[in-house]
Each structure stands twice: as C-alpha cells, then as structure tokens.
Structure 1
Amino acid sequence: MGSTPRDEIDTLIARMGDAIIGQQDVIRMLVIGLLANGNLLVEGLPGLAKTRAIKALAKNLETDFSRIQFTPDLLPSDVTGTEVYYQTDKGSEFRFEPGPIFANIVLADEINRAPAKVQAALLEAMEERQVTVSGTTHKMPPLFMVMATQNPIEQEGTYPLPEAQMDRFLMHVMITYPPVEDEVKVIRLVRGEEAAANAPKDKVAKERPPAISQEAVFEARREIVGIHVSDAMERYMADLVNATRVPDRFGPDLGRWVGVGASPRASLALDKCGRTHAWLEGRDYVDPADIRAVAPNVFRHRLGLTYEAMGDGITPDRVISEMIAQVALT
C-alpha cells in the first residue's frame, strides 16, 4: 500500500526537524504556509536559522529553489528578469530571460533592505502568481511560494514594508532563541555536519532519501479543501477579526492598544491556516484550538498599534493574546 499525502508531509516535517533543532513550531508554520498556498514573512535575530529552516523545506521537496539577497542597489529586473536582445542567423529578436523569482520556493533574504520599486516587483508575483515585463505576462509555476526574511533590530539603511504589502503575507512567523538543551543539540548537529563534509572522499556517502514530490503537496491541498468548517467556527474567525476593528468593545486595554484593525485577508488566512492545522492534526473538521494555534501568526503583521501601546512596550503578541481571551465562542 502506497503512502498517503499525510505520510509524505509527516516525513517532510521529520526531515526538517533533523536539520533544525528546537524550532518545531516554526517548522510547522512553514509547512502550513506551503499547504495553504501562501507566502510567509519570517522574522528573527541573526543566527536563529531563518534561512536554514527555509532551505531545509526546499531541500526535502522536489522543487526548484531560488535565493534573492535583497540589497539597496537591487533593481526590479534583477528579481523578475528582463528582455534581452539577441542577434541570430535569422535576424535580431528580444527574448525574455527569467529572473530568480521563477522558482517553486523563493527565499527573499532581508526583504526590507531593498527599495520600494523592488518590493513592488515582488508584489505581483506574490499576489497574482504572474510577472509582467515589457507588456507580456509570464506565469509562475503551479507550486510557488515566497518566504521573505527580515532582521528586527538592524533598521539603518532599510526600507520598511508598507502595510499593503505586509497584508499580502499569509503569516508572519517569529523565530526566537532555542532552549539551552536544544542549543547543545545544535552544537552537536553542526559538528556532525562539519565532520561529514570533511570526511575522506573514498568513504561511501550515505544515500540521500528521495525528495517529497510536488504531487504530494497538491494532493494534501485537495484534502484540506474538504476539511469541514462549522457555522460556529466561521463566526468565531469573523469575531476575532472584528475585534481588531472595534477593540474598545472588548475592554479598555484593547481600545488603547489597537489603532488599525485587520483586513478581510485575515479572515481568509484564519480559514486556510485553520483548516491546514486541523488536517495536520489528523482531523476532518476545524475546532477552536486550530484557530487559536495560527491566530498569532495571522494577526501579528496586520495590527496597527497605537503610539501609546508602543510607548508602553506592548507587543502585537500581547494584544493577540488578550483578544483571544476576550472574544467568546458563540
């Protein structure tokens, strides 16, 4: 009997766990983003394996992987590609040379280091799954996902993403420091990788297991579409989003903290990610635990906090936690 899509995805998660120590929640959110067919913003301090986590996902999938290092001197054509003039025996012609955006999984490293024109070039590809160059539209591959990273502490020489572009990311995933026990495992893991890389070439290398096929991802997505969402769960998701728009109705603290609420994209993201989380848990229906599990990542980049909240050191996660506590399941 062949393996099921869930078996394949569980294998993917396990392989990523072998390469990324102490970041199980991050791995799970990356896989949810993949299965929900969305783009992710991954944020964390330097050295916390943001790039490594994304590479681990791409390496274990049957995909084309592309990395774009965003810098202030990057041009939109460096991302999308451009028309190149060719002289041939039959005459001259322009041919489109695809840029690095034309891959299955695209790592946009330090996206806030590139100017607005380059960020905008990424926007059409993320939202419309196509790129238009010289009036011609070029479609992205069926499996396409942008994972952008940014560093939260180095703001000099950066171009903060505008709210409209932030809203187009399905989730905003935060990577934090690993526990001390996991730090020891990280040391051992990297030491083992160095030993393997420096081993004599005459030693037979361990055969790498086959990558997870793209079809497994598409089959998983088809199953996720069929996950049942009750009327009560739909209302709960809508109530959570509405609480960001009328926060004063849910307590004076939320009223002081939230200046701008979430758009309807937040409702759609809760639905997609909630269904995907339920599928990963082996259920064919969504319950409140699924919605609460993904809510911080869905709302984190969609809330506009007031100056008062920022002055008091209130974080989006604190706001989201209070919001979940105040919104009742009807």
Structure 2
Amino acid sequence: MTASPTASRTPFDASRLSALIQDGDSRVGPVTVVGTTGSTNADLADAFRADPGLADRTVIVAEEQVTARGRLGRRWSAPAGAQVIMSVLLRPSVQEVPAERFGELPLLIGVAIAETARAVGVDAQLKWPNDVIVSDRRSGDTPHGYRKLAGILVEAVSLDPVAVVVGVGVNASITAGEFADAGVEAGTSLTDQGAELGSVQAREALAAAELSWIADVDEAWRRGGAALEKLRRRYRELSATLGTRVRAELPGGEELTGTAVDLDGQGGLVIETVGGERRTVTAGDVVHLRPVPTTDQRN
C-alpha cells in the first residue's frame, strides 16, 4: 500500500537526526533541530555573530520557516514538515577560496541538491542561478515549462574571518492542492514527482544525504583544481538553462534576450544575442530569467 504523500511530516526526532547525520558523515558539524523559526539563515548568521568561533559546517534544520527569504527578498512558506529546510555555515579560509570564486557557490550547491533528488528517483535539473527544477510533466500547465523543486540562498556573514551561510529549502511532500492554495502555480515536490517518503525517518535520511552532498561540493569548491572542474562539468550536465533561449529581466526595465551559452568562472551567465554580442549577467543583476520561444528574436 502506497503511503500518504504527507506521511513524512511527523516532526524530526532531534537526537535521531543528529546521530544519523554525524554518524553518516563526520565532515558535517554540530546539528541543531528547531520546530518553527523565522529563517534558518538568519538564525545561523546570528549564532555566528554571537560566537565567531562557531564550528565549520554547523547546521540548523527546521520543520517550518515563517519569514524565510529567497533571492531578492522573495517570501515563501509551506506547511510544517512538508520541506527539508536547513542552513549550513561554511568557513573557508581566504587561502582556500579566492574572493572571485564565491559567486559560483550557489550554482555548485545546486548540484548537491539535484543529486539528492535524483537519488530518490526525481529527474532534477538546475535553473540558473539558484533553483532546482523539474520539467513540467503536465505540459502546458505552467507558463515556462518547469516546476520549482528547491531553492538556494547563499549569504555572506563575515569577510574576516570568512563565514558564509548556505540555506536550502527542498519541497518534500507539498501537494498540488497546497501549492494552489498558496497561489504558487509552478511548484512541485519530491512526492509529487513520485518519490517515496513514507515516514519521518525517510525525510531524516533525505536531510542526511543532502548534507553529505553539500560537504562533497564544499570540499571540491575549496580544493579547486580538477575537483572543482569536475563539479563545474556536472553543473553543466544538469543545467536546464545552458543552450536555451532566455530573457533576462534587468533592473530599470531592461530586457536581454538571447541564448545562454556559458558560465564564467564567477558564476555569471553568458548570453549571446541574435546579433552575436555576448553579455555576462550575474545573479545580482537579474530580476527574472525566463525561457522564451525560439521564434522570439528580441535582443
């Protein structure tokens, strides 16, 4: 008998989850589990400011966020237990990661989240700069041909010492009806895509797997060289943006339309217009990035 899509929403067992995470991957730091909070990113940033000696890869996991923010301050909330919500503190040294590499961290974290989803049978892809998506299986139901599965928000907390908070929210069991009630027309969840999350233990295992993938990505990002190049190649393999026609909506009402052809070494997206001009946009530049029909020739 197939479990209810909401069967995994029982609250996390904090002791069990912490043991599962840290026994499974010693690279992950101390884990705190909370019920309802405003924002795990804000909580972790505040914890670091109160204690600048906070351990590398310290984690906060929450059942529910009520004032969470996405990129550009966009708000989103979901029923308690319907997501896997976490923030991770990364403390690389300036010798490990040059400043110019910080811009690509949200993209690389996307690989970790997509791989976690793929491990439970969901064909996740990456939409530049910070969304994990699934192509819309109900063709025509969404205006852009995809549904959002997860979002990523990376925020710098300190430059000296370096401290970065990586926030991730994965839609675990949100139903189509709940998305509709919230006015979200293009959302999806792991269970909506056929993944089996029949218990809270399954959701705890998902959180543990996600953190292990994040540790893998963080190690490659810090190490650089061949490890980082391999990770960048994997991003390109999972990208639903590269090779497609896109329209970037920029501040002030400007629009840039062309083909997304590459990424620069700092996480910027290179767009080639019909006239052959190449322009690089950063996540901070773009209000929205949308796919467009190939017949649209505006540039």
Q: Aligning the two structures, in what range does the TM-score lie when normalised by the shorter sequence? A: under 0.3
* Higher Rg: 1
TM-score by length of 2: 0.24
Greater percentage in strand: 2
TM-score by length of 1: 0.23
Greater percentage in helix: 1
